[in-house]
Amino acid sequence: MIIVFTMKISSTMRILIFLLLLGQATYADISAIPVIFDTDLATDCDDAGALAMLHGWAKTGHVNLLAMGINTINPYTILCLDALNTWYGRGTLPIGVTKNPDAYTPPSRRVRYARQISEEYPQTNPWNCPDDAPNVVSIYREALAAQPDIDVHNPGVVIISVGMLTNMQDLLQSGPCEHSGLKGMELVQNKVRLWVCMGGAICGW
């Protein structure tokens, strides 16, 4: 299932509230909703708010955070994500960044909060720049491969996508790897029940 929210009618916060309400029914038989969070963590600070909500729900047992990734190219956002996860006590959570050279590069003025957080707050991972961080596609494939296939007892993983869709494209187009012999599309079909996307324009909408 794919649910797309346009920026005109919703915000990242509404997406997450919807997800929690959905989980009360869909995931009633499991302890926590398994979630992958894909974010640009730039241009607007709503992503940081969404991250705070997810960490809060993880603390209360509503969400099981599997991995997170950055879908933009700039020097600060992956370091900012590391710092925020460290702040919330989950610095060891697997995170990665896009290695796609065609990924969106926001102007420096649009990543001021990410830069300040990355420069002023401690991080868990010994990275100095995005080049040091893992490829997000590998991170997502490993996280998905470790989850059971969807069945009556395992509703599957929820991917929350905020910002650019580069990582989703690259995941779907990925080939077999050391984590799974399945192609990206097959892996997603077996493991992912729901993709919730905040998109400004998709399919001409």
> pLDDT for 22-57, tens place per residue?
554 455 555 799 999 999 998 788 899 999 999 999
> pLDDT for 153-162, tens place per residue?
888 999 999 8
Coil/strand/helix, residue 96: strand
> pLDDT for 141-156, tens place per residue?
999 999 999 998 888 9
Torsion (CA) 152, 154, 155, 160 in degrees, nearest 10: -170
pLDDT category of residue 201 using cuts at 50, 70 and 90:
low
Q: What is the CA radius of gyration of the chain?
A: 16
| 32-198 fold | Inosine-uridine Nucleoside N-ribohydrolase; Chain A (3.90.245)
Structure tokens at 56: 């809060």
- Check: pTM over 0.85? Answer yes or no: yes
pLDDT at residue 106, as a whole number:
80
179 burial type by CB count under 10 A (0-12 exposed, 13-18 middle, 19+ buried): middle
pLDDT of 112 above 70: yes
Of 46-60, 101-115, 187-201, the range with the highest mean pLDDT is: 46-60
